[in-house]
Amino acid sequence: MAQATELAGRTYPQKVKLAGGREATLRLMTRDDRDALLALARSLPQDDLLFLRMDITDPSVVDQWLSRIGSLRTITVLAEIDGRLAGYASVHHNEVLWTRHVGEIRMIIDPKFRRLHLGHRLANEVFAIAKGLGLLKITAQMTPDQAGARATFERLGFQPEALLADYVVDRKGQTRDLLIMSYDIAGFHDTAEA
């Protein structure tokens, strides 16, 4: 096993049990993961690629992503099963003053591993990282027809917060609605009265 790394109260790599008795190794992404990330992205069905916020089939985009590893503004946890990259989840946040307390979770799972509850394990892992970083609100964005993604976040306690009509354009040029789900950590709410 690789040398242990700690981040936001979590230790990596770590072994986790999945459905069906399978086991995955969760670890932090490194610059050495470039080729595995590209291979995962290029193996995804076209329908999955429609919803990516960035084109991770493009080597220059993956290089940009990897260049931000040390900033801790994007933290990515990879899942490996039988030595193969099975998926990832990231938490993204920035230093903009009025949203510095908000993080966003993004996730991709190889279709071959989707029935193992790997998405739930990865989402839970980056959710724990977000909490460890002191973020107060976590969001996830998807189109309403991504039923599996929505179910994963609902199991974590996320609630629908907004539905924006015709807000995103897929790779085919079609507009789609965007569902924003959120989770307020420790009941953080704006209590301003009208």
Residue 134: inside a domain, yes or no? Answer: yes
Q: Which 3 state secondary structure label does DSSP give 120?
A: helix
pLDDT of residue 192: 38
Asked whether the predicted pLDDT for residue 51 surpasses 80, the reply is no
Which domain does 25 fall in, by range? 5-140
Q: What is the sign, positive or negative, of the torsion defined by CA atoms of 170, 78, 31, 75?
A: positive
> 47 CB contacts (<8 Å, ≥6 apart)?
none
Kindly give the pairing relationship between strand 102-109 and strand 137-142. Answer: parallel
In a domain, 186, yes or no: no
**CA 78 to the chain's CA centroid:** 10
Domain holding 90: CATH number? 3.40.630.30
Q: Is residue 17 part of a domain?
A: yes
What's the pLDDT at 49? 77
For the chain, what is the domain count? 1
Question: What digits encode the pLDDT tens for the residues 15-50?
Answer: 999 998 999 999 999 999 999 999 999 999 877 777
**Tens digits of residue pLDDT in 134-192:** 899 999 999 898 888 898 889 888 999 999 999 988 777 889 899 999 999 866 554 43
The answer to whether 75 touches 91, Cβ cutoff 8 Å, is yes
Residue 50 lies in a domain: yes
- Does the residue 189 lie in any domain? no
Ranges of H-type helices in the chain: 34-43, 46-49, 59-67, 118-132, 147-155
